[in-house]
Amino acid sequence: MGTDFSEPKRQSAAGVAVMFADHLQRSIRVLVFPIILLLVRAKGMNHWYLIAGFLVFLFILIIYSYLSYLRFSFFLDEEKQEFVIQKGVLSKEHISIRLDKIQQVNINQSLIQRIIGVYSLDIDTAGSDKKEASIKAIDHHTATILRERLLNRDTPDPTAEKSTDEQRLKSEPLLKLSTSTLFKVGLTSNYGASVALLMGFIFAIMEMLKNYTEAFQLEENPIKALSTEGLNMISIGVLLFFALLIVLGTNILRNFIKYFDFEVIKKKAVLAITSGLFEKKHTLLKPARVQISSYSQNYFQKKLDLMNMKFKQASFDAADEDDKDNKKHDIEIPGCDENERDELLKMIFECIPQKESTFIPNYRFLFLTIMLKVVIPIAFFLLIGWVLPHLRPYFWWIIPYAILVVIMLYFEFAHHRLYLSEDFIIKKSGIWDVEHQLMEPHKIQGITTKQYFWHKKANIGHLVLHTAAGTIHFKYGNYADIHRMANYWLYYIESGKKDWM
Amino acid sequence: MQDFTNETLDIDALPKYEEVVLNAISRKYWRVALLNIAIFLLILAAAIGMVLFFVEGFRPYLYVTTGIYLLFSILLIALYRTSIKRIGYAIREKDLIYKSGIISISTSIIPFTRIQHITLNEGIFSRMFQLGSLHVFTAGGISGSITIPGLDINMAKAIKEELNRQLAKVD
């Protein structure tokens, strides 16, 4: 394939194989249960029929894959500034994407693509434009050039492309994760996800064991024995130790698979990020497209000078979610130190955001949350215990619960801060993982201020900043301050010419 | 409390969104709301009536149920009344302000430069009273958008046109 994209082009010839694998995988996923049923039911049937049927099925798939390869074409319409993809065997699909709507172009490689030696190019668009496009088989050279053309939109210049390619080879990575850093990251982050994974696994095994013992009517049921005899302290300790070991192990393993060979390279005005052990991921990040940048750190990570960074981009689905991660649009940097963070922030913002003035929530922040999360649940529990006497021996649980939750709420309160400077908004929050979210005022889509009627006298209110990548909340602030901020940001947005994307 | 000062700009001299005089929505919207509440209450009454009719055990509680139902109806109507009274909107030179809420009073502001698109909706009851609701969308998703209900249809059309004109000017 050449580098001229103005004429409709097909994918690499190897695309047939990729499409075949893709279709095969998809049809197996759909047909796996009917096939198993057929195999079980058709015991008496001649096996040759089955094999013949399977071969016919494969043949049809091959033809279908070939046809979809033939029908798939893409080109760059320079005049309309659009990227066009045409595809579809039975029904024709015509996707055109305006270049200025393209947020991100990723070059990825799955296992199959790795074996064949091709890449896929996925185009990510912003806003309500839900159509997303991907090219399943393309060689690396073409993919990188196409990506550059899609993102930069400047006139093609073969020599420049060559030099950027060379530049890429020469330029020092801005950030490179070493094995030891990955190890540290695995040790100190994402406990929640790994614990959930492990719990699911343990429950599945327990269930299986139960079914197994019931099916064979075993008298010795290890699970039952455990639950009837009760566990002594030592075995609980051993069990906890192993659980911890497994959680940390899975954490480390997951991190290695996902972030192996993680590299951030600065290329002109964009950041190129590559990572992955089995599936290689290449992502280009344009600083102007980032809506919210954040870094987070927990106690252990602070001791190790390690933090996790995230760059949130505009997406229609993410805008409504508060703190939930939108993995597809988020770009994550699993581990970096303070210097590297500052380097990255400089890339995004052209300077390091400073905390010039601090805003602290009112103590009433604790009031309502303690009411909701401590007083009401305990009152409810006592009420139920009053009705059901056999719950009474468990009343002492209230004390550790109350202490733990109050401590957590206190930390939440202590970490809830808003820092402002002329051109930046920094919001700090979190209980264990303390996160700083950074944004520029011109990324604001809308501002909402809220006040409960009983807070009128105390002059307390809440602030919500809506962005295209989610919202930022500041709760229980001085309402007069919040008004001033809102007025300033409105002035900033409405008098400035800066676009949010 | 510290201030984020800026040598050339006095923040207190900036236009204050919180002091803008807001417009109320059309009075006829109250009738639309009443119709909606009436339909809801009728369905609820029918459901309760069915339970009372078919389940004999509930019959002794007839008066209690009716009492609770009436209380609930009055409360609902009163809540709607105040919430409609609290709704206010204003269009400034460069942004749109919308205020609403009973327990938590919230004010949202959307600068014209951040508006993605605007739609005008007319429900069945709204159409009976020549009303419409205006939806102003931003890239901030549903939470970042504003819906102004109960606007006089001609007024709503005029606002929509005006906003679209502003959008075109911005581009």
What contacts A341, CB < 8 A, 6 or more positions away?
A: A295, A307, A309
Kindly give the interhelix angle for A398-415 and A376-387, rounded to the nearest 10 degrees.
170
Backbone angles phi, psi at A88, to 5 degrees: 110, 130
How much is the average pLDDT of A3-11? 77
Residue A199 falls inside a structural domain: yes
Residue A354 falls inside a structural domain: yes
Residue A404 falls inside a structural domain: yes
Residue B46 falls inside a structural domain: yes
Residues A84, A96: one domain?
Answer: yes
Residue A318 clears pLDDT 60, i.e. is over it = no
Print the domain residue range for B102.
88-170
Percent of chain A with pLDDT over 90: 17
Q: Which helix (H) or strand (E) holds A50?
A: helix A47-71
pLDDT at site A97: 78
Residue A449 clears pLDDT 90, i.e. is over it = yes
The answer to whether residue B10 neighbours chain A at the CB level (below 8 Å) is no
Residues B106, B161: one domain?
Answer: yes
Residue A266 falls inside a structural domain: no
Residue A395 clears pLDDT 70, i.e. is over it = yes
Cα A483 to its chain centre, rounded Å, is 34
CA distances from B114 to A125, A302, A483, B118 (A): 18, 38, 20, 11
C-alpha Rg value of chain B to the nearest Å: 22
Residues B70, B109: one domain?
Answer: no
Tell me which chain B residue has its CA closest to the CA of residue A490. Answer: B111
> Into how many domains does chain B fold?
2
- Which residues 88-117 on chain B approach chain A with CB closer than 8 angstroms? 94-95, 101-114, 116
pLDDT band at A210 (very low <50, low <70, confident <90, very high): low
- Which of B123, B114, B124 minimizes the C-alpha distance to B146? B114
The region of weakest confidence among A204-208, A462-466, B79-83 is: A204-208
CA distances from A494 to A338, A498, B113 (A): 34, 9, 7
Residues B75, B95: one domain?
Answer: no
Residue A281 falls inside a structural domain: no
pLDDT band at A192 (very low <50, low <70, confident <90, very high): low
Chain B positions touching A361 (Cβ under 8 A) are none
The count of other CB atoms within 10 Å of the CB of residue A422 is: 14
Print the domain residue range for A242.
179-256
CB contact at 8 A, B96 and B163: yes
CB contact at 8 A, A431 and A415: yes
Q: Which helix (H) or strand (E) holds A202?
A: helix A191-215
Residue A466 to residue B94, Cβ atoms within 8 A: no
Cα B116 to its chain centre, rounded Å, is 20
Residues A67, A196: one domain?
Answer: no
The region of weakest confidence among A322-326, A398-402, A438-442, B33-37 is: A322-326
> Into how many domains does chain A fold?
4
- CA distance linking residue A357 with residue A354, whole number of Å: 9
Establish how many alpha carbons lie within 13 A of residue A194's alpha carbon, considering only the half-sphere containing its beta carbon: 19
Residues A300, A440: one domain?
Answer: yes
pLDDT at site A176: 82
Residues B75, B92: one domain?
Answer: no
- Between the ranges A220-224, A467-471, B137-141, B164-168, where is the mean pLDDT highest? A467-471
Q: Which helix (H) or strand (E) holds A98?
A: strand A93-98
Helix ranges restricted to H, A388-444:
398-415
How much is the average pLDDT of A117-131? 69
CA distances from B51 to A399, A500, B43, B56 (A): 44, 56, 13, 9
Question: What's the angle, vertex CA A375, arms to CA A374 and CA A379, rounded to 5?
Answer: 120
Give the pair of three-digit tokens for residue A285.
């990040």
The region of weakest confidence among A139-148, A193-202, A345-354, B34-43 is: A193-202
End-to-end alpha carbon distance in chain A: 32
> How close is the nearest chain A Cα to the Cα of B75, in Å?
18
Residues A356, A389: one domain?
Answer: no
Taking only the tens place, the pLDDT of each residue in A126-137 is 654 444 578 888
User: Nearest Cβ partner of B103 from A449, A452, A485?
Assistant: A452
pLDDT band at A161 (very low <50, low <70, confident <90, very high): very low
- CA distance linking residue B57 with residue A141, whole number of Å: 78
- CA distance linking residue A103 with residue A385, whole number of Å: 56
Residue A429 clears pLDDT 80, i.e. is over it = yes
CATH (domain of B100): 2.30.29
pLDDT at site A418: 93
Q: For chain B, what is the largest distance between any 2 Cα atoms, rounded to a whole number of angstroms?
A: 78
pLDDT at site B89: 93
Q: Which helix (H) or strand (E) holds B53?
A: helix B29-54
The answer to whether residue B3 neighbours chain A at the CB level (below 8 Å) is yes
Residues B44, B92: one domain?
Answer: no
How much is the average pLDDT of A385-404? 84
Tell me if the pTM is above 0.90: no
Instruction: Using the CB atoms, write b or e for B42-65: b if 16+ within 10 Å.
Output: eeeeeebeeeeeeeeeeeeeeeee
Residue B102 falls inside a structural domain: yes
Residue A316 clears pLDDT 70, i.e. is over it = no
Residue A359 clears pLDDT 60, i.e. is over it = yes
Residue A3 falls inside a structural domain: no
> How close is the nearest chain B Cα to the Cα of A75, in Å?
28
C-alpha Rg value of chain A to the nearest Å: 28
Residues A353, A368: one domain?
Answer: no
How much is the average pLDDT of A390-403? 84
DSSP E strand boundaries for A142-255:
175-176
Q: Which single residue is written with the structure tokens 């008496």?
A: A44
- Which of B124, B120, B107, B125 minimizes the C-alpha distance to B155? B120
Residues A152, A39: one domain?
Answer: yes
CB contact at 8 A, A84 and A7: no
Residue A126 falls inside a structural domain: yes
Q: Which residue has the higher pLDDT, A281 or A458?
A: A458
Residues A319, A195: one domain?
Answer: no
Residue A13 clears pLDDT 70, i.e. is over it = yes
Residue B103 to residue A358, Cβ atoms within 8 A: no
The region of weakest confidence among A238-242, A257-261, A336-340 is: A238-242
Backbone angles phi, psi at A10, to 5 degrees: -100, 175
End-to-end alpha carbon distance in chain B: 39
Residues A98, A164: one domain?
Answer: yes
Residues A47, A167: one domain?
Answer: yes
Residues B41, B112: one domain?
Answer: no
Q: Which residue has the higher pLDDT, A392 or A462?
A: A462
- CA distance linking residue A307 with residue B72, whole number of Å: 53
pLDDT at site A110: 82
Residues A156, A216: one domain?
Answer: no
pLDDT at site A20: 86
* β-bridge partners, B99: B88, B107
Residue B9 falls inside a structural domain: no
CB contact at 8 A, B153 and B131: yes
- CA distance linking residue A64 with residue B132, whole number of Å: 51
> How close is the nearest chain B Cα to the Cα of A409, in Å?
22
Residue A468 to residue B139, Cβ atoms within 8 A: yes
Q: Which residue has the higher pLDDT, A43 or A326?
A: A43
pLDDT at site A221: 53
Residue A43 clears pLDDT 70, i.e. is over it = no
For the sheet containing B115-121, what is the strand order? Answer: B115-121, B131-138, B146-152
One-letter amino acid identity for B167? L
Residues B79, B117: one domain?
Answer: no
The β-bridge relationship of strands A424-429 and A434-439 is antiparallel
pLDDT at site A419: 93
Residues B98, B113: one domain?
Answer: yes
How much is the average pLDDT of A357-380? 89
Encode chain B (171 residues) as per-residue pLDDT tens digits: 455 554 566 778 888 888 889 999 988 899 999 999 999 999 999 998 888 888 877 777 888 888 999 999 999 999 999 999 999 999 988 889 999 998 899 999 999 888 888 888 888 888 888 898 998 888 887 888 899 998 998 989 898 888 888 777 655
Residue A487 to residue B101, Cβ atoms within 8 A: no
Tell me which chain A residue has its CA closest to the CA of residue B145. Answer: A446
CB contact at 8 A, A174 and A344: yes
Residues A82, A166: one domain?
Answer: yes
Backbone angles phi, psi at A451, to 5 degrees: -150, 130
Residues B64, B127: one domain?
Answer: no
The region of weakest confidence among A10-14, A46-50, A216-220, A490-494 is: A216-220
Residues A81, A105: one domain?
Answer: yes
**How many contacts, defined by CB atoms under 8 Å, are there between A and B?**
124
Give the pair of three-digit tokens for residue A420.
């402002």
CA distances from A347 to A264, A266, A338, A441 (A): 11, 9, 14, 18
How much is the average pLDDT of A266-275? 80
| 3-state SS class at A58 | helix
Of B83, B110, B129, which closes a domain? B83
Calculate the average pLDDT of chain A: 79
